[in-house]
């Protein structure tokens, strides 16, 4: 195959992605998500076997959009950080001080690319410690392909959108506190943005959105941990009248 033929093949695949997006009623996304480079990267990930087809929009966050995808008939999730609108200056505070990413150049694309790699590594580290998180399969610049959490293409709800029974709420609180302790003691990480907005409910709590998570040697790790503890305890106390910050701290600081 000649170089020109390869380029034509890439252009055709990019156009196919564009037509799917344009023709899909499910994709209500801003134009700034899918620039040419993102289409190229999606094509590359597809060619490497990370996904077969891109599906509909699952959610839109402050910095990224998540889409469903198919791989051998199984749903996956594709997270795309928006290059043009992400608050990359705010990301600096979580990257600076992390020894894994100390030499990142301050360009927007470089920072967001580092953020994506950081989330990929944090998810793997949390998973290895036994915490339920979406398994990440592949990354390329601002795109990450990972497990789809849900059933039959329908995403699992956020914890904030679920009304649990008193017994379920107590169990979920205890599990969430356990996961925070495991993350701290075994994975040597602090989530740094844990709340009912970053926990899915799928047969129990599933921790998501770990791009900002930091190692314990980050200078603000303890401050971020205290904020996580406060946020989680506040939610369960306000919604269900259970749990306290002390309950969580006991698990985190225990020596077992």
Could you confirm whether 72 is annotated as catalytic? no
* The pair of three-digit structure tokens given for residue 245, joined into one six-digit string: 């910050």
Q: Are 83 and 35 in contact (CB under 8 A)?
A: yes
Task: Please tell me which residue in 193, 217, 228, 247 is annotated as part of the active site.
Answer: 193
Residue 135: other Cβ atoms inside 10 A: 13
Could you confirm whether 193 is annotated as catalytic? yes
* The pair of three-digit structure tokens given for residue 168, joined into one six-digit string: 């379920």
CA distance 35 to 41: 10
CA distance 193 to 211: 9
DSSP-based three-state secondary structure for 49: coil
DSSP-based three-state secondary structure for 96: coil
Task: Please tell me which residue in 98, 147, 209, 228 is annotated as part of the active site.
Answer: 209
Which positions are annotated as active-site residues? Answer: 193, 209
């Amino acid at each position: 195959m000649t170089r020109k033929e390869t380029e034509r093949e890439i252009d055709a695949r990019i156009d196919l992605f564009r037509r799917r997006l344009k023709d899909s009623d499910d994709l209500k996304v801003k134009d700034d998500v899918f620039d040419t480079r993102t289409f190229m990267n999606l094509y590359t990930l597809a060619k490497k076997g990370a996904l077969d087809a891109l599906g509909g929009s699952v959610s839109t966050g402050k910095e990224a959009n998540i889409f469903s995808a198919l791989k051998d008939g199984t749903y996956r999730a594709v997270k795309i950080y928006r290059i043009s609108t992400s608050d990359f200056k705010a990301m600096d505070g979580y990257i600076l001080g992390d020894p894994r990413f100390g030499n990142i150049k301050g360009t927007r694309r470089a920072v967001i690319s580092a953020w994506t790699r950081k989330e990929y590594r944090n998810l793997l580290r949390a998973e290895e410690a036994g915490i339920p998180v979406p398994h990440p399969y592949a990354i390329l610049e601002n795109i990450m392909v990972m497990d789809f959490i849900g059933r039959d293409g329908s995403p699992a709800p956020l914890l904030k959108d679920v009304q649990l029974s008193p017994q379920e709420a107590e169990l979920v609180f205890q599990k969430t506190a356990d996961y925070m302790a495991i993350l701290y003691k075994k994975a040597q990480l602090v989530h740094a943005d844990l709340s009912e907005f970053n926990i899915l409910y799928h047969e129990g709590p599933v921790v998501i959105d770990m791009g900002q998570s930091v190692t314990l040697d980050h200078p603000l790790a303890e401050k971020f941990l205290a904020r996580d503890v406060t946020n989680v305890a506040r939610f369960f106390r306000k919604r269900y009248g259970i749990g306290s910050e002390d309950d969580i701290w006991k698990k985190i600081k225990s020596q077992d």
